[in-house]
A and B are shown apart, each in its own frame.
Chain A
Amino acid sequence: MNVVAEDLPEHGSGFPGPWRLAWRRLRYDRLAMVSLAVVAFFIALMALSWTGWLAADWGREVGVSHAPPGLIGPDAASPAVQHGGAPAGGIQPDDSGVVDPLGEVLARIRSGAAGAADDGGVVDPLAGVLAEIRARAGAAQAGGAMRAATLPFGGDKWGRDVLSKVIKGTETSLFVGLSAALLATFLGTVFGAFAGYHGRRVDDFLNWFYSVFTSVPYLLLILAIAAVLSQKGTVTVVLILGLTGWTGIFRLVRAEYMKHKVREYVQAADAIGASHARRMFVHILPNISHVVLVQLSLHVVLFIKSEVVLSFLGFGVGVDTVSWGSMLNEAQSELLLGKWWQLAAATAAMAVLVTSFSLLTDALRDALDPKLK
């Protein structure tokens, strides 16, 4: 939301513009400024993680399996480490431990196709992945002695650092939330602008479209689309959430356009020969942009929550991506073993971000529309 500050138009005279007034109101709200700082921190975290400066090696198994949180170091109460890093009950991947799940089937298919000229053209589709896993397992074994008994924020089942996973999960969840919200806001604003500005046929059609989308409950619609797409990935989640989540914004923007299109400044724009598109997006849009901004912020929170649920259920991001949802999924079974730290870390990160974002949204609404209250 720093954009608000930087995009301020330069006013030569002493008369402050509406954005500057809003920013001034926002600055006096101490809670809002703290929330803004927290949100900015998370966005910075996302950017650093995305560029690979942070948590790039989240997949490395740096600690023992389920390493408890603590800063004490390897010498405390864990004899397993001195014995070369194989903790009791832990999973120690080694070369022989990595089994090709398709090996048996492939062998059978190949023997069936033995009569053919070549080996039946049956190629193990997992060969590449397995080679990589085995190489990594070998490396892990070489560094096995280096595994830490405790990690600052604990480790997961494979001994991966929970802190790195949370940072990586922040990247995924925040990216999904932000881009899905941008997509939904864009669709809602464009549809709402056309419906509200043109009215009549266009309005009827878009309203029909709206009522179709809203008559199916939100989560059910998302699940139905997830069932159909059956192809996981970050982009898929963004598309699912963005393409279904525009309805609330549409309704608000449409109402604003209906209100604004009869105002004098729009008539004046008509008089100087501005085209419909120009009146819609150059003249009216800036005057309702505060509504859009608040909605954008609101939807980021909504989509972050939805992404967590989707990924938890396994319909969200792919298996090789960490998100808070997939972390919660792992944490569910860990909790039964008494390993609470992954659950705590994912929950805390999400709660802090979502709380700050919600508080910031409330403050934005107050600052941008002082007539409320």
Chain B
Amino acid sequence: MPAYILRRLWQMLPTLLGVVLLVFFLFNWVGGDPAYLLAGKISNPAQIESIRRQLGVDQPVYVQIWIFIQQIATGDFGVSWATNERVAEIFATRLGPSLTVLVPMLVIDTLIALAAAMLVAYLRGSLTDRIVMIGCTVGQSVSILVYIIVLQYLLAYQLGWFPVQGWGAGLAENLLVYSLLPVIVGVLVSIAPDTRLYRSFFLDEIGHDYVRTARAKGMTEMRVMWVHVLRNASIPIITNVMIQLPGLLAGAFLIERFFSIPGIGREVILAVERSDFPVIKAVTVYVAIATMIINLLADLLYKAVDPRVQLK
């Protein structure tokens, strides 16, 4: 096992190098000379020259890439161009609010989607199944923007059940007051695609012989579905949950933006709006690293839920 983990970590290096090159190429070449962006519209050549020297843009390319790699390794991406806040500091303070919303969202969504998918897979072909499936297709086709705009307007602005937006100081307050509506919206958006997906995973399993055997042994339907079928369908389910994780971290930016949650997603949007390259670069690279590590964890989890899996 340790040998396997080490080998996988070793294999991450070329991919990581690729991400570094991609981000570097994107921001330093496609994006044009960052000194001009930083200096603003009206500036003289001397100013530009001094900014170029500060940023290290006047160095040869390989030196610049080396500087970038050093930044990644040390976690020191310098300061934000827009606010002069340290990039590391931005990360440390924004991660908490993001997780406060994302963890409940993911847990609730997965549980509800699993139960709904189990039900419609069990009743496959029935009217309930067809209605739920069509409902999911329609629900999936409405933009996430509409969910946010309408629910925020109805539940918070009109009915006043939730605060329209904002963020408090304590974890309990945030969890019980401010993150409620964002979590509801997030669950509503992701439940339709997840239910469809999990239903297809269950349908793949339901026709197998072991299900018939379990029934023949006189097990209750609950036990057949929730123990036997669920465990056998767990590998694709774990894959799906794990795949969502890194995307959620940065991808919940719409929810964070609408509800003024000071999380990483909102920071990404602000950074894109202000061309704040150090922040975007840092987010991209670190989320890529997180993705690779989560993939590794997913593979290790496969082994845990299914001893037949060979890690090679």
Separation in Å of the A371 CB from the closest CB of chain B? 14
* Chain B nearest CB, measured from A339 CB (Å): 12
Distance in Å from the Cβ of A173 to the closest Cβ of chain B?
10
Chain B residues closer than 8 Å to A230, beta-carbon distance: 31, 275
> Count of chain A residues with Cβ under 8 Å from any Cβ of B?
45
Q: Chain A: interface secondary structure?
A: helix
- Contacts A212-B19, A216-B19, A309-B254 given; does A221 touch B143 at CB 8 Å: no
Q: Which 7 residue pairs spanning A and B have beta carbons closest together? A: A212-B18, A354-B141, A228-B31, A217-B247, A227-B272, A355-B141, A215-B288
In the complex, the answer to whether B153 meets A336 with C-beta atoms within 8 Å is yes
Interface size (B, Cβ < 8 Å)?
44
Q: Among A209, A228, A305, A336, point to the contact of B143 (Cβ < 8 A).
A: A305
Q: How far is the CB of A326 from chain B (nearest CB, A)?
A: 11
Contact B15 A212 (CB under 8 A): yes
Is there contact, CB below 8 Å, between B280 and A224? yes
Please tell me which stretch of A56-64, A137-145, A287-295, A343-351 contacts chain B, meaning at least 4 of its Cβ atoms lie within 8 angstroms of it: A343-351
- Measured CB to CB, the nearest residue on chain B to A209 is B18
What are 18 A-B pairs with beta-carbon distances under 8 A?
A215-B292, A216-B291, A217-B247, A220-B247, A220-B287, A224-B23, A226-B272, A301-B141, A309-B143, A325-B145, A328-B145, A331-B149, A335-B149, A335-B150, A335-B153, A351-B138, A358-B140, A359-B137
The DSSP consensus for interface residues of chain B is helix
Please tell me if A312 contacts chain B, counting CB pairs below 8 Å.
yes
Binding site for A on B (CB under 8 A): 14-15, 18-19, 22-23, 26-27, 30-31, 137-138, 140-146, 149-150, 153, 157, 246-247, 249-251, 253-254, 268-269, 271-273, 275, 277, 280, 283-284, 287-288, 291-292
Residues of chain B contacted by A353 (CB below 8 angstroms)? 141
Asked if A208 is at the interface of the complex by the 8 Å CB criterion, the answer is yes
Contacts of A325 in B (CB 8 A): 145
User: How many A-B Cβ pairs are below 8 Å?
Assistant: 119
| A217, B22: Cβ atoms closer than 8 Å | no
Residues in A whose Cβ lies below 8 Å from that of B149: 328, 331-332, 335, 343
Q: Which residues of chain B come closer than 8 Å to A225, judged between CB atoms? A: 26, 30
